[in-house]
Amino acid sequence: MQNMKFTQINIDQIDTADKRFQISPYFSVDSLIPSIKKSGLLNPPVLTKREQKYIIVSGWRRITACQKLSVPLIPVFVMPGESDLEAFKIPVYENLSIREYSQIEKAAVIRKFYDFGEEPENIIKKYMSLLKIPPKREVMEVYLNIDGLKENIKKTAHQKNWSLGMLEIMTELAPEEAQAFYPFMEPLSLNKQKQLIENLFDISRKQDVSVQNLLNSGELLRIQDDKGLNPFQKAEKIYMLSKKLKNPTFNTWRKAFEELSQSLDLPEDMKVIPSKFFEGDTITIKLDIKNQEELKKHIRKLKELSERKEISLLFNPFSHD
């Protein structure tokens, strides 16, 4: 804080349109408002002057909350006229001391350092390690590309805490392709979002078609055009279909196994489960048992099952390929 001047200024004097030092626009002030109402602004934001105007270096959330509360005068620190690069280090370090950055915020930090003229080698050596990113040039390029994604994608990615892998795929898509995913992403859970992106990307690359062309053809298009489905149902169906299209052989075998186990006419509290992806050579029989009587009943059923011919197919579902 040395060389910084502590003062009070009128909040209207701050040019909030200048967002050059803003790392994340995705913040909420709801939890801060009661605190400011009760105790005032205890931690002054940091400002600096550019072309006679005060701009925010650090403290976007605090200033936005004060604006909402119509606080006229606020305490601030004003930085001397450091370069943008030097000034930007203030919010980077300050935020790092408080919370983890999302991948989108990390991308914004790297982009800003880059645009403020920091040497790539320095970004890699100093700041990427600080952000817990592997210090490699290839990875820096990925983050620069992530920052260039469309705003709606970045917002969802930040809010849902998308992994680097998901974002990496988005950057490898043409902007129209990335946008084509978007309507089906919102309703899905994070895990399903991830799988949908990976599946459609892989299918499109394997078939040499764009993601939009893939989505605009066959069963995928029929699902989108189905007026009887709401957006959530459409997203779920598209997700399920992407799994089938990505792994057709696995899907065939999963279905065959299901049909075989159904043909055994098992009681509801007895389930036959294959090994994960059929990779192991065992099956699991799961029993839900409440008491000794049920145990005896299940043992009788298991004995009966062990005599049936179909059971051998479950152990070797590929034998009739």
Among 37, 49, 137, 150, binds other proteins (CB under 8 A): 137
Of the candidate spans 48-56, 88-96, 120-128, 283-291, the one that interacts with other proteins by CB under 8 A turns out to be 120-128
SS3 state at 74: strand
Is 56:78 a contact under the CB 8 Å cutoff? no
Among 55, 87, 108, 124, binds other proteins (CB under 8 A): 124
Among 125, 150, 255, 300, binds other proteins (CB under 8 A): 125
Among 136, 222, 255, 296, binds other proteins (CB under 8 A): 136
Is 263:320 a contact under the CB 8 Å cutoff? no
Of the pair 153, 169, the CB lying nearest other proteins is at: 169
Radius of gyration of the chain (CA): 28
Q: How far is the CB of 207 from other proteins (least distance, A)?
A: 9
SS3 state at 87: helix
How many angstroms separate the CA atoms of 64 and 103, rounded?
Answer: 23
Of the pair 76, 197, the CB lying nearest other proteins is at: 197
Q: How far is the CB of 214 from other proteins (least distance, A)?
A: 13
Angle at 47 between CA 41 and CA 50, to 5 degrees: 155
Residues 6+ away with beta carbon under 8 Å from 137: 120, 124
Of the pair 12, 138, the CB lying nearest other proteins is at: 138
The owner of tokens 């909040």 is 11
Q: Per rule CB under 8 A, is residue 120 in the interface with other proteins?
A: yes
Among 172, 176, 219, 258, binds other proteins (CB under 8 A): 172
Binding string, 226-265, against other proteins, x = CB under 8 A? Answer: --------------------xxxxx--x------------
Residues 6+ away with beta carbon under 8 Å from 151: none
Binding string, 267-296, against other proteins, x = CB under 8 A? Answer: ---------xxxxxx---------------
How many angstroms separate the CA atoms of 44 and 75, rounded?
Answer: 5
Among 121, 219, 258, 269, binds other proteins (CB under 8 A): 121
Of the pair 145, 179, the CB lying nearest other proteins is at: 145
Q: Per rule CB under 8 A, is residue 165 in the interface with other proteins?
A: yes
Residue type, 195: Q
Question: For residue 136, what are the CA distances in angstroms to 107, 116, 167, 278, 297?
Answer: 14, 20, 17, 37, 61
Of the pair 150, 206, the CB lying nearest other proteins is at: 206
**Count of residues that interact with other proteins, criterion CB under 8 A:** 31
Widest pairwise Cα distance in the chain: 89
Backbone angles phi, psi at 58, to 5 degrees: -150, 135
The owner of tokens 């298009």 is 221
Positions that interact with other proteins (CB under 8 A): 120-121, 124-125, 135-138, 141, 165, 168-169, 172, 202-203, 205-206, 246-250, 253, 276-281, 318, 321
